[in-house]
Amino acid sequence: MSTGSQCVIVKIGGHGGLRHRLMEMGFVRGETVLVIKDAPLSDPIEYQILQSRVSLRRSEAQKIDVVELADTNAHAGNQDVMRSEFFGTFVEEYDNNELLSKKIQETSHTITVALVGNPNCGKTSFFNHATGLHEKVGNYGGVTVDVKTGVFYHKGYTIRLVDLPGTYSINEYSPEELCVREYLGKNEHDMILNIVDSSNLERNLYLTTQLIDMNTPMVMALNMYDEFQAHGDKFDYKTLSTMLGFPIVPTAASKGTGIPQVLQAIIDVFENKKDITHHIHINYGNDIENAIATIKTEIEKNKDIINLYPSRYLAISALENVGHTVDELKTLPNGEAIISEAKHFRDSLEKHHGEAIDTLVSNARYGFIRGALKQTFQPNKGNTKRWRAYRADDILTNRWLGFPVLLVFMWIMFETTFILGAYPQDWLDMLISWFGGLVKGWLPEGMLNDLVVDGIIGGVGAVISFLPNILILFLFISIMEDTGYMARAAFMMDKLFHRFGLHGRSFIPYIMGFGCAVPAIMATRTLENRKDRLVTVLTIPFMSCSARLPVYLILIAAFFPKHQALVMMSLYLFGVLVAVLSAKVLSKTVFRSVSEEFVMELPPYRVPTLRNVLIHMWDKSVQYLKKMGTIILAASIVIWALEYFPRNTQAEQLVAQQIEQTENRPVDDLFTIEAKTAAIDSLSQVQEAVHSEQSFVGRFGHLIEPVVRPCGFDWHIGVALCTGIAAKEIIVSTLGVLYQAGDVESEDGESALQIKMKEQRWPEGSIYAGQPIYTPLVAYGLMIFVLLSAPCISALAAIKREAGWGWVLFTLVYTLLLAWLFSMLTFQIGSLF
């Protein structure tokens, strides 16, 4: 607010002491504030409120949201002030200023809620049900690896729900913990919604005690309460709510139960209704409390930092020697004194008690939790249901059966993708062919007809028919995630992965990479060790993502009809093998630091909800169709244009003259009508081939053909592989455009593109002249190249975000070299047999 301006307060931010101090001085919602002037050094600022003058530092004033009263001087002479109720307070509204009143109403009715909880506590399920944004849900830690915000409306309020990464603590031992701490300290949120897994109260409440230390308004959602009740346990959560000082509401987020009650509790806390909240302190014992009090006094000399974080929380973090907190404290004028004071007490406490300070603090927190639960929680000692959810581990993680079961599951996944997906795929192929023929008949002959039929329908249609297969693949991945089997797979793979320089938890991003490399790369943030994280990021591109699936499906169905699932599975396993071998090389050369220890929660098995599975599949279908309408459509048109132009080159004109001469040649006994038709068809094919080779894309293809020829590829395949860097699906659409597959009718269940592929022959002058270009050997080598070659642009952008430009360049060069090498070896060695 500028000097002399006037405004109305609509929201008070901050925490604990700062928030209460502001309100005690009259800064409450609905009050009008006049900005008097800045201090000579621009800070603090003098304000007029409630007939008194108050000075605030800018850092404190930033915690107060206001709406400016425009043209206040014009209203000063004849303002008809009317008092109206404004959520328990009164606000001055000026006549004929409905826009201002509406703006005040909107701003004061907006609540920003930070969603915080342990991994696998149902946090994202709550987010999905409340917001309808359908974020990904998985039954293992680390699904939410970034901050997501959903905005929705409830009972006249706009609620901004911010889904933070799942974390067990906010002591900054992992990127997730740092992200949560940074957001809670430096972003404007009105309160915290703490999601707690009711089946694991003691462990989940540890994070709650840390949030209590942050002294922020809070509501707790006691999630999975239906499972808790099924165990026969008894829990007086209302008494615990009174003890902790904030509302606790039972929920079952996967079913949507209890969510309206949680939202009502959020509104009640936001409106500061009486007897709902009060702040408590976790008692850490006399020795630690004395240390906290002394360090806190030293910290409170710095008003700016305690406006961001409560002084008690900073004192506890300094005492525990939390790295990021210590770094921030060093920047303060008395930072060295604070750190020195904290070290003095830390050394004294550790010497006196014979244990590390973080152990002492953790024990005190768990002591508080156990004391609270002793008064409110009564477990059903005769209950055996609690462990039934783990009985499947007797088979699924068995020493001898675990790996065979995993391999059988993958084989079933691929077999179902082919067999079950073949039916809707054939229907889509027939529909696309019918539509292409229909459009060709509608439009007049010419460039527009060629663009629509060959460019758009031939290019996009060649890819869109694989949507059912991709949805089936994501169905299986969703089942692995939602049941908890994904975490078991990581558990089984840890020892093997460790030998290759990877972490067992790397297996989860690898499996996610079968769907899409971008979320898989982001999921590596759950790996705390930077070495483990980077090695996993750099090897994820070798996972066969769903974008590669259309290439596999069309080649396998055409050239490996009898062993489709086995061929597909061999590609996926080969990708994993190359990834782990690459990880071994990277770990022994570039990254030599020690891998972190394997610590991972194994959640109970749960039956996937139909809603979550359908949401997962729906989201992927929408993403796929969006890609059809954007990247692949644009690429198909560009490829068509490069293949269509230039027109009527000298070589084409010579062939055209030969066609004209043949058409004008009279029919006789030596040159029958059948011979004439065959000659014209042959010359037309030659004309198409000449045009294709003389086009811009043909010239580029011939330029790079010597590079791909050792792999058994011609220039058409070389061009398609180049376009695949944008998105792997474009390889199929590029071949569809280059082979003009849009005007070919499907036969015997084969797609138009498959028919065209089988028709391709090596031209005269080649050592393979007249032989088919596509053979099973070439098809497998092509799939190997697609599997190992550079990931799409989106994946490269994700690598840049996680690792930097240097590793993006490394990924491009390394993957392309590996792809060419293995494809070349496949073709050259295979040709010997």
pLDDT of 137: 59
Token pair for 176: 């997730």
Per-residue pLDDT at 378: 87
Q: Is the pLDDT of residue 509 over 80?
A: yes
User: Token digits for 810?
Assistant: 């490394």
Question: 3-class SS at 43?
Answer: coil
Q: b/e map of 763-796 (b: 16 or more CB within 10 Å)?
A: eeeeeeeeeebbbebbbbbbbbbbbbbbbbebbb
Q: How many helices (H) and strands (E) does the chain have?
A: 39, 15
SS (H, E, C) 173-188: CCHHHHHHHHHHHHCC
Instruction: Report which of residues 623 and 333 the model is more confident about.
Output: 333
Read off the DSSP letter of residue 451: I
pLDDT value for 382: 65
| pTM, two decimal places | 0.68
In degrees, rounded to 5, the angle at the alpha carbon of residue 630 between the alpha carbons of residues 628 and 635 is: 85
CA distances (Å), origin 493, targets 336, 504, 532: 46, 6, 15
Residue 793: the pLDDT is 83
Res 246: pLDDT: 93
DSSP-based three-state secondary structure for 8:
strand
Percent of the chain with pLDDT over 90: 29
Of the spans 427-431, 762-766, 798-802, 826-830, which averages the highest pLDDT?
A: 826-830
Is the pLDDT at 111 greater than 70? The verdict is: yes
The winner for highest mean pLDDT among 132-146, 400-414, 816-830 is 816-830
**CA-based angle 778:782:785, to the nearest 5?**
140
Over residues 75-108, the pLDDT tens digits come to 443 333 333 334 333 344 444 456 666 677 676 7
712 close to 721: Cβ distance less than 8 angstroms: no
Average model confidence (pLDDT) for the chain?
A: 84
Beta bridge partners of 426: none
Q: pLDDT grade, residue 347 (50/70/90)? A: very high
By the 8 A CB rule, do 791 and 544 touch?
A: no
Q: Which of 372-386, 742-756, 803-817 is most confident? A: 803-817
In terms of C-beta density within 10 A (0-12 exposed, 13-18 middle, 19 or more buried), how is residue 673 classed? exposed
Amino acid at 191: M
The confidence band for 187, taking pLDDT boundaries of 50, 70 and 90, is low
Report the distance separating Cα 417 and Cα 7, nearest Å.
Answer: 62
Nearest to 162 by CA among 144, 178, 174: 144
pLDDT tens for residues 190-207? 899 999 999 889 889 999
Q: Which amino acid, residue 275?
A: D
Query: Apex CA 173: angle with CA 172 and CA 179, to 5°?
Result: 40
In this model, does residue 313 exceed pLDDT 80? yes
| Per-residue pLDDT at 631 exceeds 60 | yes
Q: pLDDT digit string (tens) for 603-613?
A: 777 788 787 78
Question: Hey, is 195 helix, strand or coil?
Answer: strand
Structure tokens given for 757? 């592929």
* pLDDT exceeds cutoff 60 at 745: no
Instruction: Give CA–CA dist 800/807, Å, rounded.
Output: 7
Which two three-digit tokens encode residue 415? 């077999």
pLDDT at res. 91: 42
- Taking the C-alpha atoms of residue 553 and residue 533, their distance in angstroms, rounded to an integer, is 32
| Among 539, 571, 301, CA closest to 411 | 571
Please give, one letter per residue, the 3-state secondary structure of 311-348.
HHHHHHHHHCCCHHHHHHHHCCCCHHHHHHHHHHHHHH
- Both structure tokens of 507: 């297996």
Between the CA of residue 620 and those of 99, 459, 516, 791, what are the distances in Å? 42, 20, 10, 19
Q: What is the pLDDT of residues 586-595, one digit of tens each?
A: 988 887 765 5
HSE (CB half, 13 Å, CA atoms) of 176?
Answer: 23
pLDDT (tens digit per residue) in 47-57: 998 888 998 88
